[in-house]
């Protein structure tokens, strides 16, 4: 395999996330959508919690997991703002793939207020040396606003406790997706 991870934001995000998980890890997919990221996490972690507000998304994710024979995922048809109500253990990796469900209703997208609340909840249960990975699609108005809010949130985090990195494909046109990574240092 010769995957050039710098050509594809999702592959780049996964390559970075992979460093933070192993077969004993707990992961949360905050936006499971069609289940692609959840399926990937299920194959690498001990346990995965997968959230989505759309029933069509959680049904699709459950189906994909069943087909692949994974039983280590709790699929939750609820908003990621309520992470604390469902996840009562320290987490190695959170993934938030923002935006709308590919192939679904483009009007149902992640929104800034809920995303920031979910990110705050994630910080509360993120392990030391754990990772929050946010993939931001900002080529639509709500995504632009959300990206601004998420980056402002990260920029305001305690520099002694968290380390934040933001990727930007600077020579690519049309608002290419960006990644925000937050790790807990202590």
Q: Which of 21, 27, 28, 57 binds ligand SAM (CB under 6 A)?
A: 57
Restricting to residues 105-134, name those near ligand SAM by CB under 6 A: 108, 110, 114
Size of the site for ligand SAM (CB under 6 A): 22
**Residue 9 binds to ligand SAM (criterion: CB under 6 A):** no
Restricting to residues 23-42, name those near ligand SAM by CB under 6 A: 31-37
Q: Quick check: 42 and 69 in contact, CB under 8 A?
A: no
Return the structure tokens found at 11. 């592959």
Angle CA(75)–CA(93)–CA(57) in degrees, nearest 5?
30
The pattern of x and - marking residues 69 through 98 that bind ligand SAM according to CB under 6 A reads ----------xxx---------------x-
Restricting to residues 137-176, name those near ligand SAM by CB under 6 A: none
Q: Quick check: 144 and 112 in contact, CB under 8 A?
A: no
Measured between its terminal Cα atoms, the distance across the chain in Å is: 36
Q: Which stretch binds ligand SAM (CB under 6 A): 48-56, 123-131, 141-149, 163-171?
A: 48-56
Tell me whether residue 87 is exposed, middle or buried, using C-beta atoms within 10 angstroms of its C-beta: 0 to 12, 13 to 18, 19 or more.
buried
> Least CB distance from residue 24 to ligand SAM, whole Å?
23
* DSSP calls for 74-122: EEE-S-GGGHHHH--S-EEEEEEE-SB-TTS-TT-B--HHHHHHHHHHH
Residue nearest to ligand SAM (CB): 33
On the CB side of 158, CA atoms within 13 Å amount to 7
Which helix (H) or strand (E) segment holds residue 62: the answer is helix 55-68
130/27 Cα distance (integer angstroms): 10
**Residue 101 binds to ligand SAM (criterion: CB under 6 A):** yes
Q: Which is nearer to ligand SAM, 55 or 186 (CB)?
A: 55
Q: Which stretch binds ligand SAM (CB under 6 A): 49-57, 124-132, 160-168, 174-182?
A: 49-57
Q: Which is nearer to ligand SAM, 25 or 97 (CB)?
A: 97
Residue ranges binding ligand SAM (CB under 6 A): 31-37, 51-54, 57, 79-81, 97, 99-101, 108, 110, 114
């Amino acid at each position: 395999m010769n995957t050039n991870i710098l050509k594809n934001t999702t592959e780049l995000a996964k390559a970075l996330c992979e460093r933070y998980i192993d077969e004993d890890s707990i992961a949360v997919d905050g936006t499971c959508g069609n289940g692609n990221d959840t399926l990937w996490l299920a194959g690498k972690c001990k346990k995965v919690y997968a959230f989505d507000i759309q029933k069509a998304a959680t049904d699709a994710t459950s189906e994909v997991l069943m087909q692949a024979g994974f039983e280590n995922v709790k699929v939750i048809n609820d908003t990621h703002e309520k992470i604390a109500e469902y996840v009562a253990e320290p987490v190695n990796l959170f993934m938030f793939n923002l935006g709308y469900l590919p192939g679904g209703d483009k009007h149902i997208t992640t929104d800034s207020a809920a995303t920031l609340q979910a990110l705050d909840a994630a910080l509360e249960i993120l392990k030391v040396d754990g990772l929050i990975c946010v993939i931001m699609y900002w080529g639509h108005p709500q995504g632009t606003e959300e990206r601004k809010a998420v980056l402002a949130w990260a920029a305001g985090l305690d520099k002694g406790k968290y380390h934040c990195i933001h990727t930007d494909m600077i020579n690519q046109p049309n608002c290419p997706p960006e990644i925000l990574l937050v790790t807990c240092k202590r």
